[in-house]
Amino acid sequence: MFLDSGDLQAIWLTIRLASIVTAILLVVGTPIAWWLARSRSRWKGPIGATVALPLVLPPSVLGFYLLLAMGPNGPVGHLTRTLGIEPLPFTFWGLVLASVFYSLPFMVQPLQNAFEAVGDRPLEVAATLRASPLDTFFTVALPMALPGYLTASILTFAHTVGEFGVVLMIGGNIPGATRVASVQIYDHVEALEYGQAHRLAAVMLIFSFLVLLALYAWRPNARKG
Amino acid sequence: MDRITARFHVTWPGFTLDLNLNLPGRGVTAIFGQSGSGKTTLLRCIAGLERAERGFLSFNGEVWQDDRTFLPTHKRPLGYVFQEASLFPHLSVLGNLRYGLTRSKAEQRVSLDHAIELLGIGGLLERKPERLSGGERQRVGIARALAVSPRILLMDEPLAALDMARKQEILPYLERLRDELEIPVLYVTHSPDEVGRLANYLVALESGAVVAQGPLAETLARLDLPIRLGEERGVVLEGIVAERDERWHLERVAFPGGSLWMRDRGLPLGHTVRMRVPSGGISLSRLPQQDSSILNTLAGVVEAIGDDDHPAHSLVRVRIGESVLLARITKRSVAVLCLQPGVPVWAQIKSVAVAQ
């Protein structure tokens, strides 16, 4: 077998994590991006900067704060205790939550650009054609921003796959729960299993290249939409 | 009769709009002015796309805006045509037409078929907007606004983005709308030609204020206001083709109070024609001229005399039955002919143009 069962488990976990994070961010990122694209509030700057923070912060910094928040004395920790759920650090769902924050700008920024490109006019036209604001969003803004949704989803998925620092801070290295592909490669290297590290690294490299290729090949068409 | 009452006060940096309008609830009302006069802002306020900080708007007694109420755009029974057609790019022509249709709960006063037929877009229904010409796009935009069966149609310079040929392509459709639909149309434009051709009622704006409003012919014939359609002042007369002279290739257009002979344009008898009579193309005399090449001489009475731009010129308003003409003649001629209100005169009309 080209990859061993540990590798396959890590890949499966990575795909599961990236899919769930992408799905959550599609729901969470849409209203944030819409607000950032449409609002003239003075909070637009601070909120936009906050969303963009994970782009520049070292993952260890983000992971550190998230770990504190999810810990027994943090707000998230309080919440999980009140709800009677197991603490989030070093669990798959803790990793999901951390990744949602970490990948947020990769969802929000392309969506915000797409919504800004739609502009005011189509929304005004829809209003004069009796569509309520919510109706307008789903029948005009969303279809017109569809290329942006594809870009945002691909970037979010790929970026989550590429996570490492935050995973180590929040999730550690638990097989089947938090040991994603990037951590698995790290393990192989630490254990001097260069052959296995090579194979998994090659899979990651090819995957990343294909994702970006799809994105760039698709973009020119997106412009027309 | 239905009426539209609109009072708006808008203050933006460098721009104030302060209007008090009482518009007829039928026919085409042209809102005419240069760019920056506030005409588009007025239309957007009426549509609810812009919210005047102080305003009152009622349509046929229904209040759309006052101190407490602000009916959102999607609840106002209006149709809106934007300067650029602004079709939804992700929908076909038919999808665009149906978008508003399925959402308007109003009784169907204008059927989709009728709108398609009125604008002549039956052959385009399956196409995507990107595959339409500019003129076709705007026709679809107009049909889309009509398909919601609006009780008032707002049009914001619908022809301004089109070239001359495309304008000529669409104008006949607009005339059909005016003549066949029973809904009032507010038509924003800076084009004198479009006013002359389409409007029944005129509102002239300047720097956010109304400088004149009234029925078109009456307003154009006012001496105290600097309203002009194009280079010079003049009036618009509406008449019908009453007679054809095959031998001389002429047709006679009868208007309330008289008639004018024009070049035969092959229009059927009974067809409505709008004629622009520029004031520089009229001369006045106290006696009928017998040996003149001028075809049209009308008997009238001087109603008023005012100043034109140049100190050498006067503007003389001459009543011809129920209609009025505006003649620009020199002050010397006014003195030599002893013209004053009440004096009967003969108006020789050198030029008449069909409004188009």
- Among candidates B220, B353, B201, which has minimal Cα distance to B274? B353
To the nearest whole percent, how much of chain A has pLDDT over 70? Answer: 96
> Please, what is the average pLDDT of chain A?
91
Q: Select the highest-mean-pLDDT range: A8-22, A173-187, B183-197, B270-284.
A: A8-22
pLDDT top residue among B103 and B355: B103
Structure token pair of residue B97? 């037409």
Indicate the DSSP class of residue B126: T
**In which band, very low, low, confident or very high, does the pLDDT at B191 lie, cut at 50, 70 and 90?**
confident
User: A125 — contact with chain B (CB < 8 Å)?
Assistant: yes
Predicted pLDDT of residue B293? 86
Are the CB atoms for A144 and B90 separated by under 8 Å? yes
Summarize pLDDT for B47-78 with one digit per residue, the tens: 999 998 889 999 988 999 999 999 999 999 99
Residues with Cβ within 8 Å of B341's Cβ and at least 6 positions away in sequence, in order, are B302, B303, B304, B305
Q: Contact B89/A225, CB-based, under 8 Å?
A: yes
CA distance A145 to chain B (A): 10
Q: Contact B73/A224, CB-based, under 8 Å?
A: no
Question: Coil, helix or strand for B183?
Answer: coil
- Quote the longest CA-to-CA distance of chain A: 67
Are the CB atoms for B147 and B115 separated by under 8 Å? yes
**In which band, very low, low, confident or very high, does the pLDDT at B343 lie, cut at 50, 70 and 90?**
very high
User: Which of B80, B84, B130 is closest, CB to CB, to A128?
Assistant: B80
| CA pair distance B303, B326, nearest whole angstrom | 10
Question: Coil, helix or strand for A62?
Answer: helix
Sequence ranges of the domains in chain B: 3-220, 234-354
User: A127 — contact with chain B (CB < 8 Å)?
Assistant: yes
Domain B3-220 -> CATH class: alpha beta
Q: Provide φ and ψ at B278, rounded to 5°.
A: -70, 145
Summarize pLDDT for B111-170 with one digit per residue, the tens: 888 889 888 999 999 999 999 998 999 999 999 999 998 999 999 999 988 888 888 888
Summarize pLDDT for B91-111 with one digit per residue, the tens: 999 999 999 988 987 667 778
CA distance B5 to chain A (A): 20
User: A40 — contact with chain B (CB < 8 Å)?
Assistant: no
Residues facing B237 on adjacent strands? B275
**In which band, very low, low, confident or very high, does the pLDDT at B264 lie, cut at 50, 70 and 90?**
confident
Q: Which residue of B has its CA nearest to A140?
A: B88
- Tell which phi-psi region holds residue B102, choosing left (phi > 0), alpha (psi between -120 and 50) or beta: alpha
| CA pair distance B290, A55, nearest whole angstrom | 91
Hey, do B3-220 and B234-354 end up sharing a CATH topology, with the first three levels equal?
Answer: no
Whether the pLDDT of residue A219 is over 70: the answer is: no
Structure token pair of residue A118? 């739609």
Whether the pLDDT of residue B230 is over 70: the answer is: no
Whether the pLDDT of residue B21 is over 80: the answer is: yes
Question: Coil, helix or strand for A197?
Answer: helix
Sequence ranges of the domains in chain A: 13-171
Structure token pair of residue A15? 């795909």
Summarize pLDDT for A51-110 with one digit per residue, the tens: 999 999 999 999 999 999 999 899 999 999 999 888 899 999 999 999 999 999 999 999
**In which band, very low, low, confident or very high, does the pLDDT at A225 lie, cut at 50, 70 and 90?**
very low
Question: Coil, helix or strand for B147?
Answer: coil
Question: Coil, helix or strand for B149?
Answer: coil
Q: Contact A125/B86, CB-based, under 8 Å?
A: yes
Whether the pLDDT of residue A221 is over 80: the answer is: no
pTM of the model as a whole: 0.84
CATH code of the region B234-354: 2.40.50.100
Predicted pLDDT of residue B26? 86
Q: Which residues of B touch A224 (CB under 8 A)?
A: 130
> Please, what is the average pLDDT of chain B?
89
Structure token pair of residue B313? 């010129």
Whether the pLDDT of residue A24 is over 90: the answer is: yes
For A13-171, the fitting CATH number among 3.20.20.210, 3.90.10.10, 1.10.3720.10, 3.30.300.30 is 1.10.3720.10
Q: Provide φ and ψ at B30, rounded to 5°.
A: -85, 130
CA distance A126 to chain B (A): 8
